[in-house]
Amino acid sequence: KQEVTQIPAALSVPEGENLVLNCSFTDSAIYNLQWFRQDPGKGLTSLLLIQSSQREQTSGRLNASLDKSSGRSTLYIAASQPGDSATYLCAVFDTDKLIFGTGTRLQVFP
Amino acid sequence: DAGITQSPRHKVTETGTPVTLRCHQTENHRYMYWYRQDPGHGLRLIHYSYGVKDTDKGEVSDGYSVSRSKTEDFLLTLESATSSQTSVYFCAISGPTGLRSSYEQYFGPGTRLTVT
């Protein structure tokens, strides 16, 4: 059974830092991996989608990498800002559904 | 933002009553999904649809039914609500066509349901 883990569960950093969020999954036979952002009381916003044949995707200050063989993905956020404060979720598309991790709660303070 | 709306946004209901949640999309996407989000469990798939009148079960489908009579609408029904169904429910859409696995999923704003 596929399991998705995100470490750390929470992270607090000063504004301007570059940071890395980690996502690991137990079964490498995935179709794609998606990173989301969720603000309190809100829905999920899709940040990046990496297909299984890709190694990374970039959008603005965000860069996500995928290493299927080791079952890992990282989300790199450059020059963090207070507006980046949110919970970040990764999810893998496995067989027929997305399986979510429980997220990393990020706080960026001025 | 993807054109997805959910109604109602908040609902309080009593145990044993039927409840229907509605998801409406304006993107003409083929696939639609219902998830629930609970502390300690994250997001879990309830049901999904791959076209009009075509639906399938997800991970936590017991106690729920769905219907899709039009491309743009996907309904989630709790036939007889229980306290364990208190949760935040999210609808998602993906893919104009082709394989589900190829596309990003876009989420609606959620419905907070409380069953007393």
pLDDT digit of tens for each residue in chain A (110 aa)? 899 999 999 999 999 999 999 999 999 999 899 999 999 989 999 999 999 999 999 999 999 999 999 999 999 999 999 999 999 999 999 877 899 998 999 999 99
Kindly list the residues from chain A whose CB atom is less than 8 angstroms away from the CB atom of residue B57. Answer: none
Residues B6 and B106: beta-carbon distance below 8 Å = no
Identify the bridge partners of residue B114 per DSSP, sorted by sequence position: B12
Out of A46, A93, A102, closest to residue B42 by CB = A102
Q: Is the pLDDT confidence value at B99 over 60?
A: yes
Q: Is the pLDDT confidence value at B96 over 80?
A: no
Nearest-angstrom CA–CA distance, B91 and B109: 8
B54 close to A (CB below 8 A): no
For the segment B50-92, what is each residue's pLDDT rounded down to a tens digit?
Answer: 889 999 999 999 999 999 999 999 999 999 999 999 999 999 9
DSSP symbols for B3-28: -EEEE-SEEEE-TT--EEEEEEESS-
Q: From chain A, which residues contact B within 8 Å (Cβ)?
A: 31-32, 34, 36, 42-46, 49, 51, 89, 91, 93, 96-98, 100-103
Closest residue in B to A53 (Cα) is B102
User: Using the beta-carbon criterion (under 8 Å), do B101 and A89 form an inter-chain contact?
Assistant: no
Q: Is the pLDDT confidence value at B1 over 60?
A: no
DSSP symbols for A9-59: SEEEEETT--EEEEEEES----SEEEEEEE-TTS-EEEEEEEETT-SEEEE
Closest residue in A to B110 (Cα) is A43
- Smallest CA-to-CA distance from B34 within B3, B59, B9, B16 is with B59
Q: Which two tokens stand for residue A42?
A: 């809100």
The size of chain B, in residues, is 116
- Closest Cα in chain A, distance from residue B18 (Å): 24
- Closest Cα in chain B, distance from residue A78 (Å): 23
Torsions phi, psi for A83 (to 5 deg) = -65, -10
Nearest-angstrom CA–CA distance, A9 and A22: 10
B45 close to A (CB below 8 A): yes
Out of B43, B45, B109, closest to residue A42 by CB = B109
- Smallest CA-to-CA distance from A25 within A86, A77, A67, A76 is with A67
Q: Which two tokens stand for residue B26?
A: 């304006």
User: Using the beta-carbon criterion (under 8 Å), do B101 and A93 form an inter-chain contact?
Assistant: yes
- Smallest CA-to-CA distance from A35 within A25, B100, B110 is with A25
Q: Which residues contact B108 (CB under 8 A, 6 or more apart)?
A: A43, B4, B5, B6, B23, B90, B91, B92
**Which one of A93, A104, A105 makes the best mutation probe of the B interface by having the most chain B beta carbons within 10 Å?**
A93
